[in-house]
């Protein structure tokens, strides 16, 4: 194995693998770009594939996932194509009776999601809390951290709360959405521990029960976990519409509910550009936005944010990137230490004082998604305070990212995964991740999956 020098993000260098050195590490990457991809075109492997017309891509079963070299129509094409059917969420997802009973019987619901936040977690929490409120219940949505700028537009009504804001909220049901791990909800974990009843809507691999959730023995738990769903928001949309129909029908003025739910699906699927995305998700997305081009355009605008150029230039130079390739397979990791993240934040705040560290991290996460499409597998390491390292994984193959994350103590699904390592250093974590990536690149995927299941 030949190991090349670590190159900063944005620097290009041409390494030409030879038969004598089959495993090479090299750099040839463009700099950081805007936070959402160019409309209509997605990178896949070494090719740029135009989203195919919607009417030409209709598998026999909407639940099937596309072939590895096929992509769905981009949302703009799907919305303009009258032959591309809009499907109601409940036509695809069926909530279990126990979950519906818990939601139906509850009068005061605390809806909690994970930190750090993403579009699915924020959109699902907001959409569910607003839907339950419209049904006459008292509901609060909690994500216990500040939102990055690319997600703050979802909370246009200021509905999202922190754990400290609901200390006195006497909930008869705590609903976890897009998460089933108590250590991922911040200080809301204390509220969960005292919950009289808990429900879960999640699309990650999990087995929620009183023990895994840190609840008192015997606390009722109604869980709906569907690993085949592309986002928790699509599952939640089905549950909310099912309950609304029982009360006389879904209101016509539910845009404030369906918009954040649709945003959750868009962000978790990379605007339906990920090869693992099921066709039915785009059909449901079209239904949630009422097939409205105007609402789609507005959502694109709300979710778009680009870090100031000075901060991006620093990340291009200072973030370490390493690519490993072998006979047509490649994987890439990049890492950012505390000093780089803080300096990027300072440069960004000179232009926009409201920028937070989450916005810097979000820029790196968007780059991670791009790198995964280019190389097949990508890993981001972020140095965090208190001796923690956050690992995020992405892959074109829907199984690999989760296997990578599980191999280092985390988890994931459908091309995305992550882990937080305590008492870790960035250098040691890089070494561990490099070993795991080398195993994958050398064709030892089966061994990697075995490691993840241990």
Cα-Cα end-to-end distance for the chain: 28
Of 156, 73, 402, 128, nearest in space to 244 by CA: 128
Please answer whether residues 344 and 315 qualify as being in contact, where contact means their C-beta atoms are separated by less than 8 angstroms: yes
Q: Which domain holds residue 415?
A: 7-34+306-453
- Coarse DSSP helix, strand, coil percentages of the chain, rounded to the nearest 5 percent: 40, 20, 40
Domain end position, chosen among 287, 303, 319: 303
What pLDDT is stored for residue 73 in this prediction?
A: 67
In a domain, 76, yes or no: no
Residue 415 has pLDDT above 60, yes or no: yes
Confidence of residue 39 (pLDDT cuts 50, 70, 90): very low
Quick one: tokens of 70?
Answer: 């096929």
What's 190's domain CATH number?
A: 3.90.1640.10
- Directed axis angle between helix 255-268 and helix 119-134, to 10°? 160
Same domain, 385 and 338: yes
57 or 391: which leads in pLDDT: 391
> What span, in angstroms and rounded, lies between the C-alpha atoms of 393 and 429?
13
Number of C-beta neighbours around residue 249 at 10 A: 9
What's 361's domain CATH number?
A: 3.10.310.30
Domain end position, chosen among 303, 321, 350: 303
Q: What is the pTM of this model?
A: 0.76
Please answer whether residues 334 and 319 qualify as being in contact, where contact means their C-beta atoms are separated by less than 8 angstroms: yes
Confidence of residue 197 (pLDDT cuts 50, 70, 90): very high
Same domain, 192 and 141: yes
Strand order of the sheet with strand 108-112? Answer: 160-161, 138-142, 108-112, 173-177, 198-202, 221-225
Name, in order, each residue with C-beta under 8 angstroms of 437's C-beta and a sequence gap of 6 or more.
Answer: 324, 331, 333, 377, 379, 404
Same domain, 273 and 324: no
In a domain, 56, yes or no: no
In a domain, 73, yes or no: no
Domain end position, chosen among 266, 288, 303: 303
In a domain, 85, yes or no: no
> What span, in angstroms and rounded, lies between the C-alpha atoms of 110 and 161?
10
Domain count, the chain: 2
Confidence of residue 340 (pLDDT cuts 50, 70, 90): very high
What pLDDT is stored for residue 402 in this prediction?
A: 85
Same domain, 299 and 310: no
Same domain, 296 and 317: no
Work out the percent of the chain whose per-residue pLDDT is above 70: 81
Same domain, 232 and 314: no
In a domain, 21, yes or no: yes
Of 411, 374, 377, nearest in space to 394 by CA: 377
What pLDDT is stored for residue 5 in this prediction?
A: 35
Same domain, 298 and 312: no
Same domain, 262 and 324: no
DSSP state letter for 58: -
Mean pLDDT (whole number) for 380-390: 89
For 148-159, how does the pLDDT look when each residue is reduced to its tens digit (9 = 90+)?
A: 888 999 998 999
Of 285, 280, 237, 282, nearest in space to 263 by CA: 285
Residue 46 has pLDDT above 50, yes or no: no
Same domain, 29 and 171: no
In a domain, 355, yes or no: yes
Same domain, 347 and 364: yes
**Average pLDDT, whole number, for the chain?**
81
Residue 376 has pLDDT above 80, yes or no: yes
For 76-88, how does the pLDDT look when each residue is reduced to its tens digit (9 = 90+)?
A: 989 998 889 999 9
DSSP state letter for 90: G
Same domain, 262 and 210: yes
Same domain, 319 and 263: no
Confidence of residue 443 (pLDDT cuts 50, 70, 90): low
205 or 213: which leads in pLDDT: 213
């Amino acid at each position: 194995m030949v190991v090349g020098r670590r190159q900063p993000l944005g620097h290009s260098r041409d390494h030409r693998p030879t038969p004598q050195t089959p495993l090479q590490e090299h750099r040839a990457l463009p700099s950081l770009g805007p936070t959402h991809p160019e409309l209509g075109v997605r990178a896949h492997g070494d090719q740029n594939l135009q989203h195919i017309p919607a009417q030409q891509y209709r598998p026999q079963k909407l639940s099937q996932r596309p072939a590895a070299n096929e992509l769905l129509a981009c949302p703009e094409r799907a919305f303009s194509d009258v032959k591309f059917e809009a499907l109601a969420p409940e036509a695809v997802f069926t909530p279990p009776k126990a979950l519906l009973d818990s939601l139906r019987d509850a009068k005061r619901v605390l809806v909690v999601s994970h930190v750090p936040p993403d579009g699915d977690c924020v959109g699902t929490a907001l959409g569910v809390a607003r839907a339950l409120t419209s049904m006459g219940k008292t509901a609060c949505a909690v994500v216990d951290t500040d939102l990055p700028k690319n997600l703050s537009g979802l909370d246009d009504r200021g509905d999202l709360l922190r754990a400290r804001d609901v200390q006195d909220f006497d909930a008869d049901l705590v609903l976890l959405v897009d998460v089933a791990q108590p250590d991922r909800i911040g200080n809301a974990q204390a509220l969960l521990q005292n919950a009289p009843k808990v429900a879960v809507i999640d699309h990650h691999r999990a087995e929620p029960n009183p023990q895994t959730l840190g609840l008192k023995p015997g606390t009722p738990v109604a869980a709906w976990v569907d690993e085949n769903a592309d986002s928790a928001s699509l599952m939640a949309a089905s549950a909310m519409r099912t309950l609304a129909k029982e009360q006389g029908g879904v209101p016509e003025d539910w845009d404030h509910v369906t918009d954040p739910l649709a945003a959750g699906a868009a962000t978790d699927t990379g605007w339906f550009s990920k090869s693992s995305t099921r066709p039915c998700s785009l059909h449901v997305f079209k239904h949630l936005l009422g097939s409205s081009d105007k609402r789609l355009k507005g959502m694109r605008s709300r979710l778009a944010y680009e870090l100031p150029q000075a901060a991006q230039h620093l990340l291009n130079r200072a973030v370490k990137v390493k690519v490993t390739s072998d006979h047509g397979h490649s994987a890439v990791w990049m890492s950012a230490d505390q000093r780089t993240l803080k300096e990027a934040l300072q440069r960004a705040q000179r232009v926009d004082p409201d920028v937070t560290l989450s916005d810097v991290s979000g820029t790196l996460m968007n780059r991670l998604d791009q790198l995964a499409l280019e190389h097949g597998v990508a890993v981001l390491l972020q140095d965090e305070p208190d001796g923690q390292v956050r690992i995020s994984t992405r892959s074109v193959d829907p199984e690999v990212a989760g296997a990578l994350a599980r191999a280092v103590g985390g988890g994931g699904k459908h091309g995305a995964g992550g882990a937080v390592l305590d008492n870790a250093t960035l250098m040691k974590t890089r070494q561990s991740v490099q070993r795991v990536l080398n195993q994958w690149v050398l064709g030892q995927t089966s061994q990697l999956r075995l490691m993840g299941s241990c």
